[in-house]
Amino acid sequence: MGRLKGGANTDAEAEKLTLSQLELLISGAEWRFDHGSNSNARKLAFKRLTWLEAQRERLHDIPAPSRRLAGRQPPEPSES
């Protein structure tokens, strides 16, 4: 993944961010994932989003939600 100007790209860079800065980057990645113009843009945004959420979990103990790219993994079994 290429460098994102103005954002964290390494664990060390993420450690320098405040929680509110990290939340802002996460919301931007969510928007890019939801509004991606093609599958490659959505895939890159998804990778970024899950990495940022993992950093938030590691640094601030906020659990990262379980996310999957549609069509990549089999659906989870439903509780019936």
pLDDT per residue as tens digits for the range 33-73 = 999 899 999 999 999 999 999 999 999 999 999 988 876 55
CB 26 within 8 A of CB 56: yes
| Burial class for 73, CB neighbours closer than 10 Å (0-12, 13-18, 19+) | exposed
Q: Rounded to two decimals, what is the model's pTM?
A: 0.79
**C-beta separation of 13 from 29 below 8 A:** no
Helix %, strand %, coil % for the chain, to 5?
Answer: 55, 0, 45
